Amino acid sequence: MNFLVIAHAHPDFSVGGAEIAAYNLYTSLRGGSGQTATLLARTNSPHTSVGVISRWREGEYLWRQDMGDWFRLATASPQSVVRGFREFLLKIKPDAVYVHHYAHIGLEILREIRHTLPECRLFLTLHEYMAICHHQGQMVKTDSSRRLCNRSSPEECSGCYPQLTPESFWLRRQYIEKHFNAVDHFVSPSHFLRDRYIAWGIAPDRISVIENGQPTPLQQVPNGPSHSDVIKFGYFGQITAYKGVDVLLQAITLLTPEQRRGLQLEMHGANLDQQTESFQARIKELAEPLIREGSVRWIGAYKREDLLRRMSAVDWLIVPSIWWENSPMVIQEAFVCGKPVICSDIGGMAEKVQHGQTGLHFEARNPYALSQAVLTACTDYGMSIRNRGGTFRSVGYEESAAQYISLLDQGVPSGKRFGA
């Protein structure tokens, strides 16, 4: 069996969850008996011409590709899809293709795979709500309230983008559906995201839940309670507004100086300099007094190989996102390290973390609620959750890959892939 895995980035250059999940799947598939696997990852390297596919290492290729129309999710270079990508497909001749994202690449690859390899099985893993929501796939209102959005319709979406008519959003959906109809089966890493896409129109029997797999070596990490008088909390991820970093810093600020003396928050992440000036100023205003006090350590960016060491050094992880996260990779990574998680009580976060068992929930976007969850984590009750860390389970990438392969046993769909 010959597999092709397509990702919108390579983890050597980007440590986002989707590209890591794609690479873990590729790693497992290539190691199977009687199996071969190839990885094609998009790159934006300025040193390579658009459309060029080049070998990165054995079995791994980089494809210089860009998005030309983020509204329709269309490629910037249709010719590179028709020519270079088609030639690559004919050279590899996979029996099954697992696409882990179309962002930065374009939806056109789906129809090209179906056209060039009509007998090939095509699977698409959905990592967020990009097809449903034009607002970066986050289903959050565009006004200053950043309210959560619960449904998609041409009228609702036009309300967020008054310059675009409801008819424009109707046409957008038709374009996306046309390309999604080339897919044999969809995969969602969470039940929450699956339900959202079913409500949007994907037929229930066309989408399965498969958790993002984690590397087996990480599962050997020992976990034990901290012997320090200071409980360490860690944030790992991008420093953006939708990740709830400001909510987290507000929560620590709400604690009394005496309460803060018993804990420390470590901030592991990057890209603050790429955010709006107002957001940067807000984060600095909140963080600087806490850093001077010593209750916050701003450690900054990390490489993939640093993750295990850094995560193992904290007692709790905090995931304070203000949008419907699908299946944050950081939660699975925390469980690999035997660390409990404090998370927002919405979306895939609340699904992945069992309140009182593998972590604690708090009311999303509520700094006070988060501050109380932090204090709870410092109690004997919090210690009892931490002491169960050795029993936390994450899905290994071999197990995840086996579930992907099992999709081949499902019948090939006929007609449209969307519900009536």
Same domain, yes or no, for 34 and 173? yes
Same domain, yes or no, for 198 and 74? yes
In a domain, 416, yes or no: no
Among 40-49, 125-134, 210-219, the least confident range: 210-219
Q: Rounded to two decimals, what is the model's pTM?
A: 0.90
In a domain, 328, yes or no: yes
In a domain, 302, yes or no: yes
Q: What pLDDT does residue 411 have?
A: 62
Mean pLDDT of 245-251: 97
Mean pLDDT of 144-172: 94
Domain count, the chain: 2
In a domain, 420, yes or no: no
Q: What pLDDT does residue 289 have?
A: 97
Mean pLDDT of 63-79: 94
Distance CA(125)–CA(22), nearest Å, equals 9
Distance CA(381)–CA(343), nearest Å, equals 17
Mean pLDDT of 271-296: 95
- Reported confidence tier of residue 219, pLDDT bands at 50, 70, 90: very low
Same domain, yes or no, for 171 and 260? no
In a domain, 382, yes or no: yes
Q: What pLDDT does residue 226 have?
A: 54
Same domain, yes or no, for 89 and 223? no
Whether the per-residue pLDDT at 261 is higher than 90: the answer is yes
Same domain, yes or no, for 325 and 358? yes
Q: What pLDDT does residue 412 have?
A: 57
Same domain, yes or no, for 188 and 227? no
In a domain, 198, yes or no: yes
Q: Residues 357-407: pLDDT tens digits?
A: 999 999 999 999 999 999 999 999 999 999 988 888 888 888 999 999 999
Q: What pLDDT does residue 420 have?
A: 33
Same domain, yes or no, for 126 and 160? yes
Mean pLDDT of 36-43: 96
Residue 417 CA, chain-centre distance (Å), reads 24
In a domain, 419, yes or no: no
Look over the chain and give the mean of its residue pLDDT values, rounded to a whole number.
91
Q: What pLDDT does residue 413 have?
A: 57
Question: What is the residue range of 255's domain?
Answer: 216-391
In a domain, 162, yes or no: yes
Same domain, yes or no, for 134 and 231? no
Q: What pLDDT does residue 217 have?
A: 46
Mean pLDDT of 306-317: 91
Whether the per-residue pLDDT at 203 is higher than 50: the answer is yes
Q: What pLDDT does residue 31 have?
A: 79
% of the chain with per-residue pLDDT over 70: 94
Distance CA(404)–CA(141), nearest Å, equals 34
Same domain, yes or no, for 128 and 275? no
Same domain, yes or no, for 300 and 188? no
Q: What pLDDT does residue 227 have?
A: 55
Q: Residues 319-349: pLDDT tens digits?
A: 999 999 999 989 999 998 999 999 999 999 9
Same domain, yes or no, for 228 and 299? yes
Same domain, yes or no, for 167 and 283? no
Q: Check which CATH number belongs to the domain holding 358 and give it.
A: 3.40.50.2000
